[in-house]
A and B are shown apart, each in its own frame.
Chain A
Amino acid sequence: MDQVADSPAIALSGSVTVCGGARCTSARCQRVLRAFEVELTRRALGRNVRLSPSPCRGFCTAGPIAIVHPPGVLYCRVQPEDVPEIVDQTLIQGKVVQRLCYDEPEAHRSLVSYQDMPLFSKQVRIALRNCGLIDPERIEEYIARDGYAALGKVLGEMSPEDVIREMKASGLRGRGGAGFSAGAKWEFCRRAPGDLKYVVCNADEGDPGAFMDRSILESDPHSVIEGMAIAAYAIGASQGYIYCREEYPLAIDRLEMAIHQARDLGLLGEDICGTGFRFDIEVKEGAGAFVCGEETALIASIEGRRGEPRPRPPYPVVAGLWGLPTNINNVKSYAMTPQIILRGANWFGSIGTQKSPGTAVFALTGKVNNTGLIEVPMGIPLGDIIFDVGGGVPHGKKFKAVQTGGPLGGCLPAAALNTPVDFDSLAEAGAVMGSGGMIVLDDDTCMVEFSRYFLTFAAAESCGKCVPCRVGGQRLLEALTRISEGHGTRKDLQIIKDVSTHMMSSSLCGLGQRTPGPVLAALRFFEDEFITHIDEKLCRAGQCRALVRARCVNTCPANVDTPAYLALVAQGRYAEGLAIHRRRNPFALVCGRACPAFCESKCRRGEIDEPVAIRLVKRFMADHEFEKPWTPEPIGSEAERAAAAEKKIAVVGAGPAGLTAALRLAQRGYQVTVFEKYPVAGGMMAWAIPEYRLPRGPLLAEIENVRRAGADIRCNMALGHDFSLDDLLGRQGYSAVLLAIGAHRSRRLGVAGDDKQGVIDGVEFLSRVAGEATMRAAGLPADAPLPDVRGKRVAVVGGGDVAIDVARSSLRMGAREVHVIYRRAGDDMPAAHLPEEIEAARQEGIRFHTLVNPAEVLGNGAVSGVRLQQQRLAEFDDSARRRPVPLGADSYVLNVEVLIPAIGQVPDVSWLHGTEIARHRGDTFIVDEAYATTRPGVFAAGDAVTGPATIVEAVAQGNLVAAAIDHWLKTGQLVKPHLEAEREDVPQVYDLAAYADHHRPATPRLPVEQRDGNFREVEAGFDEHAAQEEARRCLRCDLEWLDVMKLPRPGIGDR
């Protein structure tokens, strides 16, 4: 379509473009174009209005599109019939035809808005107001968002004193971290004698993990330029320097570009906007020394000298750059200045807290979901930042601590999550605001190693000028290194404390003064971790390389040599692998089905793709050898065992702790008798875990192994009923008694009506259901009737393993509906450590009610329902979870006929009357390091000591208490037991790289339809091929450890 010819003398007064891209075959566009041509001619506008086709701009489904200038409006779905109206209303009268305007489709509006995402809704963006929204390389876009309007206001309407007054009134405290009043600093500088003054921006940002300043410089450099210009006007300077580390090339580029564009426009340079004010900025690149973030060292660097601090006073505001008054502020302080001027001090003061007004910018990094930059009002609780804005800790890990203030700051633990984040509250809590780095740590972080990391950095950055920092830093580092490598002593802790005190009081500048910050904070909140490293040479987090051969072994409560048996399975050597496993855990068949697999939660392969399916590989290995009976090997020399054979030891309770202890003692030669209350041994394994999780064949087989070692297991013998403690130690002549009675007594619900008919105790419920399976497998008649839930609506209260087991069992027993009631949020359920269980429960149709708590059990004699009180999540508790509190009076009634509380268990100590065995408040036994109770000769282990835990933890205790009892019987001494760290170095026989892209297979499971109404085992194991392939995904961290320790790797011929 040709343009309508026009005479050059007549200026165009408008234009219309109609989409007509070459690709657009829509004939409608052509018709619209023609309609405009006709109408424009008719209205004699042909010469004044340029009509042309435009290239496609998208919107094709909303076409034909016509864009009309003036006023610059886009019309959609334009029909030829609409054209006269457009020409008349818009071109001639200047009005917009609303009905033709682009209407945002529902598909867009239904998308979640930033206002509704905690990531953004809790933010207030002042320093970051333009970041990510404008092109930093175009000054126009900055100006379009009120850029330089503040400078204009300052130059046109305010005196320097007015500016200072406004800044003081706003209460802005230096965002570099020291928190000194910016307005007061500007005032000091203004009042300092002299005509030549400087404005400096500290953009060194040396903290590792901090990138707030870099981001502002890269994304909105003009905000800093404008802020500096305003400061210069206020203090009477005409030259400014931005000290930016040269490791920020993009920031420097964009700064230079911005400065040039500002100069071109006359917003920097001589006679700015004709006001007579002159100001220009030069960028000075730092050379990477952390100490140059300290203002006097920074000044030295600009002057061309080596970056070293000097004593203050005199402060830079009086004598700074070249001895002249200099105002130094951080990037963020300048970036906020224009907004403070435009919107006023009151506005700024209305955000944040009274003593820390405004916002703070944080670089949120580490173990947090939403890593990046955020800006929040001062005073926001720390937990809100990490869990709401930050989205919490990924991969289901637990929050451990958060480091603030970078390498010179300190950490805060879960107990501090409710602390408001502002200068003073953080200081009171013993932490530091700093420039804004915030590093979140989870339980995979070792506090010793973490503080060593920061100390290494700070010590390396010491400029060397003063002795406390130069030498002190080295001494601290040496002590910490010794601790992390397993050579630390208690004296090292004292060294750390002493040297830190000296450094803090005598170092010349903040670098030396605050270098001890991180390690002192770590010691303050996590001292036990340091002590564990020193006394036990144990790094629980699994980070200190010298102490951690492999994270799986390290984290397994029983320290089973996992890399060894995985490597053996990879080679098809199952019997050998199983033998290694049994050295620490005799229940391979059971744990291969029911262990929460702490090993997998720490598996390094999990950082690449998925953790190795250790539990299922173990299961295959144990299943493969099922037919071969195991006679446990003797432990100790013949002479030792002969001496032991003269002693009798009684173990009360045949759960995993008791059975394991009995096994180890029998292996050492003692005469062991196990007294078990129930008709069949096994503890929770037999009397709580349902059959669909643990078939009884494997369980009974592994209990038989304990008998084969020589232990005498006597069932139907209850302590306090069939025999007493005095009897055992006295008349029956046992040298020692181990109480491994577990925690089988349920907590009551504790609400009105919790004794109605139809309320069944959770553990009691399971003992009947699981017990029936156990009795059946042992060939015995059931001794208690199954609970009656067929056709009924069942509600289970609780969120742990017992609750889920009860729920899934009820369903299989024909319950009409099964509900699980939990008072916190779903993610906080303890059973979440077995995510497959909860997932399976949902798949099977169990309904979860979270954030509700039973308030009352309803019914006339028998249960008819339960009133559930709605909860909301309030402040954080020490477990880093938000505490549920009642939400007003909101409640609802769930109609059920059966209510099963499963809210925790305690040991049954009803038989204890009179005996001198001390207990904790929850009835668990108080034991010393040797597992000895307060009664001589009586030891305790397992859930009876720890409270409800897991099978593998009970097994670990069984190993240890057996060693402790053995030592006591031989020497009369009660000492902390120590097991020999046996390890097998199995050679690597295949190419690990070949398994780089192998993924963990899905757990083979019975389809949901096939689980209905039966207790068939839900999980199937791997087949041989799958097990071997999975075992080969192991990264063999144990071989890397040999390299680190400079030990030889095993050759192929070795084992």
Chain B
Amino acid sequence: MPQLKNLEELQQLCDEIKQAERVRRETSTVITIGMGTCGIAAGARETLQAIEEELNQRQIDALVVTAGCIGVCVREPLVDIQQAGQSRIVYANVHPAMVPRLIEEHVVKGQPVKEWVVGRMPSDEPALSLCR
């Protein structure tokens, strides 16, 4: 991206990016993996690899995003799956062996794997709803 020449460009960039991010999320499956030190220590890199492999194998084009630490360190690796910009369903302690089932049941069939779910972040601005 080129350098911003003035504050209006900053505002414009913000609006454009917001729109693009919104569209990205609303038209895809987005899989987010926590990759803070806690996540990595718990095996998030291996989980990420397993997710990419599984998506590859099934030729599913989902958006795989790495994030930082949301603060539930004890349940890492955390993976959340969001489809069409709706709720982010958060899974805890996700190890590579769990990935095929997550992709098959949640991503493809739309059925969350209840026993692995920590919770659900509703709406597309989840943190703001946590930030009164």
Q: B-contacting residues of A (Cβ < 8 Å)?
A: 21-23, 54-62, 67, 69, 71-74, 76, 101-102, 104-105, 107-109, 111-115, 117, 119-120, 123-126, 128-137, 140-141, 143-149, 152, 155-156, 211, 214-215, 218-220, 248, 250, 264-267, 273-275, 339, 351, 369-375
Contact = CB atoms under 8 A, between A and B. Distances in A.
Nearest to B132: A124
B111 interface: yes
Contacts of A115: 122, 129
B62 A58 contact: yes
Contacts of A146: 14
A115 B120 CA distance: 9
Given A59-B107, A112-B120, 19 more contacts: A54-B61, A55-B60, A58-B83, A67-B27, A73-B26, A76-B84, A111-B117, A112-B117, A113-B122, A114-B130, A115-B122, A125-B131, A128-B70, A130-B127, A149-B10, A215-B38, A219-B36, A219-B68, A372-B72
Nearest to A248: B37
B67 A57 contact: no
A112 B131 contact: no
Contact of A218 (B28, B68, B109): B68
Contact of B60 (A56, A105, A107, A134): A56
Contact of A131 (B17, B68, B75): B68
B7 interface: yes
Contact of A273 (B9, B38, B67, B117): B9
A114 B117 CA distance: 11
Interface residues of B, number: 71
B69 to A, nearest CB: 5
B13 to A, nearest CB: 7
Contacts of A143: 13-14, 17
A373 B87 CA distance: 22
B84 to A, nearest CB: 4
* Residue in A67, A143, A248 whose Cβ sees the most chain B Cβ within 10 Å: A143
Contacts of A215: 36-38, 68-69, 71
Contacts of A124: 130-132
Contacts of B40: 250
10 contacts: A55-B59, A58-B107, A58-B108, A114-B122, A117-B119, A123-B130, A132-B70, A265-B1, A275-B7, A371-B74
Interface string B1-21: 101111101110110011111
Contact of A372 (B61, B74, B107, B120): B74
Contacts of A105: 110
B70 A131 contact: yes
Contacts of B5: 266, 273-274
A394 to B, nearest CB: 10
Contact of B61 (A57, A60, A126, A220): A57
A60 B4 contact: no
Contacts of A57: 27-29, 60-62
B131 A132 contact: no
Contacts of A23: 58-59
A129 B68 contact: no
B28 to A, nearest CB: 5
Interface of B: 1, 3-7, 9-11, 13-14, 17-23, 26-29, 32, 34, 36-38, 40, 58-62, 65-75, 78, 83-84, 86-87, 89-90, 103, 107-112, 114, 117, 119-122, 126-132
A169 B1 CA distance: 37
A120 B4 CA distance: 37
A108 B112 CA distance: 7
Contact of A135 (B65, B103, B130): B65
Contact of B130 (A120, A248, A274): A120
A144 B18 contact: yes
Contact of B67 (A73, A134, A156): A134
A147 B13 CA distance: 11
A114 B5 CA distance: 41
B48 to A, nearest CB: 12
Contacts of B9: 273
A141 B13 CA distance: 12
B10 A104 contact: no
Contact of B10 (A72, A74, A214, A273): A273
The CB with the most chain A CB atoms within 10 A, among B34, B114, B132, is that of B132
B18 to A, nearest CB: 5
B69 A129 contact: no
Contacts of B26: 72-74
A375 B72 CA distance: 12
B110 A73 contact: no
